[in-house]
Amino acid sequence: MTIMRFTITALLGLFIGLGNVIADGPKRGGTLVFARNMETNTLNPMELADNGQIYAHELIFDTLVFSDPTGATANLVPGLAEEYSVSDDLLKWTFRLRDNARFSDGSPVTSADVQFSFDRFSDPEINTILPGFYRGYSKTEIIDDRNFIVHLDEPIAAFLTNISVFTAYIVPKALVESGGDAFWEAPVGSGPFKVKEWIKGTSITFERNPHYWEDGKPYLDELRYDFIKDDNARILKLRAGEADAIESFPWLQIKMAETMEGVRIQSAEIVRQEPLWLNHKVAPLNEVAVRQALSFATDRETLRTAVFGGVGSIPNHMIPKMQFNASTDVVPSFEFNLDKARALMAKSSVPDGFDIEVQFPAGSSVHKQIATVMQSQWAEIGVNVNIVGVDETTIQDNLFSYNYEISMPFVKWTSDSTAPDTLGLLLVDSFTENSIEGLFSAWANRELWDMVNTAVVSDDATRQKMWPEIQAGWVADMPWINLLWLPGVEGISDRVHDLHRDALGVFHFENTWVD
């Protein structure tokens, strides 16, 4: 994590001197109010997969391993499991639970809970959100209450990464079975916090889990998420001291932070992108020439300046930048070239252009600006864009039901993994029984899918060679339009210390404390 520092040279001077925080050390107690632009709608991790849900679930539940909570590295660190080892053939993973691993009701986390949770994780009837992540899972063999072996039926190099995702949370078997659907209204987990009050549509308040396995943590007594979608309203809350931190500080208003006493801007490089999702069931988006033309007609540098204040970078991949990403010498960054765009359109079934609808999440000024820029830029190749704002829940429902043409279905698009294997299994699969068809884009590329299938069961040396090749083929087919890679940016009061994101962009509050 970097504080007051972006990779964009022009912005460096802006952040120097903002919010220099000097503190003696962690202090226990207090309440932190975090103004969020995405609402929590469910506490069941198997129901929705956007950050409005995940950022709440991460406080309540825990996994065997998880991404470095400080964000200093993209490494996995021990969670509920204090030790693990793997057989030479990568088919047997042996784990030992911490002796002080407890759920928030004080009951111990046992191997039976892990077995139950992993069986749910691998059940396609339950885990419909991330079906590819349980690839290779066969069974969990219980040795005793704290020791167990996970058996795979094929070697999965990214197995640890796969079980660090939110659908692999360890939940209490007895309570889930006895509670049914009611359990998820106020679930019991082993994370650093537990739910105190949930006012749906307004806020959710968490209190310290006294049985959390990491001694002395969390430091906060309470943490409250206030759901405030309007960017300006969140800034006003921060300025007035009614919020201690705000998510998604508006890009074009970062300079205003200079005038906000006691506030700093914090940024982190995370696995995040800003894509335009294309429905391949809608002609002419099923033509590769048209998709390539749309990309060539997209002036990403202008977009980066006009909407994001010069923050972010131009991608060379269809997914966020992560492990095994090819250099730009191997796969060039996306190019703006109207001549190439027009030539591709001339060879398509719509040489004179076409009409298309672009949906964006209503209430997000950034996404409305993106749509407006696309409307202007794509007009240069005869594409007439109709912009439609849709509420957050409906726009995701539209994605899942293919009720869209082009969409920006998520306010924030981050990866649940730092390994390309898991996104490859999720996004390139349109061929298996439990496929979600390229995340409801209906894109299908059999050659790439066969390559992904080979890569995910290969050793690291083979993966290092294969993933840039997969990347090049993925880019050539251009299934959607990846606009930019973006950091995470938030505004934070100087009374708040050690508020970190991990490499996936998830906020960790177990180390956070307030003056």
- Give pLDDT, residue 23: 58
Residue with more model confidence, 48 or 265: 265
CB 207 within 8 A of CB 222: yes
Using CA atoms, how far apart are residues 20 and 59, in angstroms rounded to an integer? 28
Task: Answer positive or negative: Cα dihedral of 405, 411, 412, 417.
Answer: negative
β-pairing, 488-493 vs 406-407, is unpaired
Task: Give yes or no for residue 417 having a pLDDT over 90.
Answer: no
- What does pTM read for this prediction? 0.86
Report the candidate in 369, 403, 371 with the shortest Cα–Cα distance to residue 388: 371
Give the count of beta carbons closer than 10 Å to the beta carbon of residue 121: 23
Q: Is 11 helix (H, G, I), strand (E, B) or coil?
A: helix
Q: What is the DSSP letter of 140?
A: E
Lowest mean per-residue pLDDT among 74-78, 138-142, 414-418: 414-418
Residue 472 has pLDDT above 60, yes or no: yes
CA–CA–CA angle 346, 351, 355 (5° rounding): 140
- CA–CA distance, 307 with 369 (Å, rounded to integer): 6
Q: What is the C-alpha to C-alpha distance for residues 208 and 193, in angstroms, rounded to an integer?
A: 5
Set out the domains of the chain in order of their start, with CATH numbers.
2-28+192-268+488-514 (3.40.190.10), 43-52+61-185 (3.90.76.10), 272-485 (3.10.105.10)
85: Cα within 13 Å, side-chain hemisphere? 3
pLDDT at 10 > cutoff 50: no
pLDDT value for 5:
29
Distant-in-sequence, close-in-space partners of 134: CB < 8 Å, separation ≥ 6? 118, 121, 122, 127, 162, 167, 168
* Tens-place pLDDT, residues 78-115: 999 999 999 999 999 999 999 999 999 999 999 999 99
pLDDT of 338 > 90? The answer is yes
**What does the pLDDT look like over 152-180, one tens digit per residue?**
999 999 999 999 999 999 999 999 999 99
Is 196's pLDDT higher than 90?
A: yes
> Would the pLDDT of 20 be above 50?
no
- Interhelix angle 288-296/338-347, rounded to 10 degrees, is 160
